[in-house]
């Protein structure tokens, strides 16, 4: 198993944002983590990635207990994530941002044996994610869609085993959705497992073999995508929200 969470709880003073959520991601899987706005999806990703450690419960990554490990350590172990709101270094070019992640992201694992030129590897990653503008553009000049694509290249630069995606496709046009679906499959074909938070049904239905649904921090459904999509509890959770 690449990732397991066991009864993960995250409390913010009075609020239980994540309530005893257990889930798993197997090798090579693309799992969708869905639920209405405010359900606790980003909070759960943060608990897994070490950005805001769980109040209780356990996180097991690649068979090792990693509960409360800081994000740098998780990154070095092979866990990467994209952000709902990407914040690259604004005064660096797109290429320099990816390079920074390539240089600092994979210390302990050495990153694939033969000495690869990090500049070349970073350029190739921008090509791999089909970055739509020049690699030499200053990051402060990128629009939301370009920022998300850069963030994806940045996340891949540390050669992860597991990638957590937080609403990577928000704001994309129909054509861009097709592109991102293709790119996510390419990532999985590189042997990277994926846990993705997403609201866009088209994307979820095309990409995810399995879904975990949370509402008010609690898991309400889990299983093969087609089954979960037909579950009346899930429709109800969405109808009762702003979606
Ligand atoms: N740092 C924090 N301090 C206090 N409350 C927080 C904090 N972060 C999140 N919350 C609260 O926890 C709950 C879950 O938020 P979270 O951002 O995880 O939801 P989400 O499922 O990612 O929603 P969305 O789909 O809108 O991104 C919300 O009620 C939110 O207000
Ligand atoms: Mg969120």
Report pLDDT digits (tens) over 171-204. 889 999 999 999 999 999 999 999 999 999 999 9
Strand order of the sheet with strand 218-224?
A: 79-81, 162-166, 193-197, 30-34, 210-215, 218-224
Residue, of 241 and 72, whose pLDDT is higher? 72
Distance 195 CA to ligand 1 centre (A): 18
Q: Whose CA is nearest to atom 12 of ligand 1?
A: 17
Cα 51 to averaged position of ligand 1 atoms, centre (Å): 13
pTM for the whole thing? 0.94
Residue 14 C-alpha to ligand 1 middle, in angstroms?
Answer: 13
Note the pLDDT of residue 39: 97
Ligand nearest to the CA of 39: 1
Q: How far, in Å, is the centroid of ligand 1 from the Cα of 85?
A: 13
pLDDT (tens digit per residue) in 107-153? 655 555 556 789 999 999 999 999 999 999 999 999 999 999 999 99
Residue whose CA is at the smallest distance from ligand 1 atom 31 = 38
Pocket-forming residues, ligand 1, beta carbon under 6 Å: 12, 15, 17, 35, 37-43, 84
- 22 contacts 7 by C-beta, under 8 angstroms: yes
Pick 1-78+160-243's CATH classification: 3.30.565.10, 1.20.5.510, 3.40.50.300, 3.40.50.2300.
3.40.50.300
50 burial level (CB within 10 Å; 0-12, 13-18, 19+): buried
Question: What residues does CATH 3.40.50.300 cover in the chain?
Answer: 1-78+160-243
């Amino acid at each position: 198993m690449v990732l397991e969470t066991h009864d993960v709880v995250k409390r913010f003073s009075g609020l239980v944002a994540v309530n005893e959520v257990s889930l798993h991601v197997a090798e090579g899987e693309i799992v969708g983590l869905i639920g209405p706005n405010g359900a606790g999806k980003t909070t759960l990703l943060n608990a897994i990635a070490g950005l805001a450690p769980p109040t209780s419960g356990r996180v097991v990554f690649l068979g090792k207990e990693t509960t409360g490990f800081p994000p740098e350590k998780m990154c070095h172990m092979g866990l990467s994530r994209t952000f709902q709101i990407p914040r690259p270094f604004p005064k660096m070019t797109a290429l320099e941002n990816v390079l920074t992640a390539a240089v600092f992201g994979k210390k302990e694992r050495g990153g694939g044996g033969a000495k690869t030129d990090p500049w070349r590897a970073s350029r190739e990653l921008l090509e791999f994610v089909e970055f739509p503008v020049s690699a030499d553009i200053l990051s402060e000049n990128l629009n939301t869609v370009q920022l998300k694509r850069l963030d994806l290249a940045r996340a891949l630069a540390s050669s992860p085993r597991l990638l957590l995606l937080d609403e990577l496709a928000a704001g994309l046009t129909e054509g861009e959705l097709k592109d991102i679906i293709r790119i996510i499959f390419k990532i999985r074909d590189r042997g990277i497992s994926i846990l993705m938070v997403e609201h866009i049904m088209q994307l979820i239905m095309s990409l995810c073999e399995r879904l975990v649904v949370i509402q008010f921090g609690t898991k309400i459904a889990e299983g093969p995508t087609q089954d979960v999509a037909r579950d009346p509890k899930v429709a109800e959770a969405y109808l009762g929200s702003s979606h």
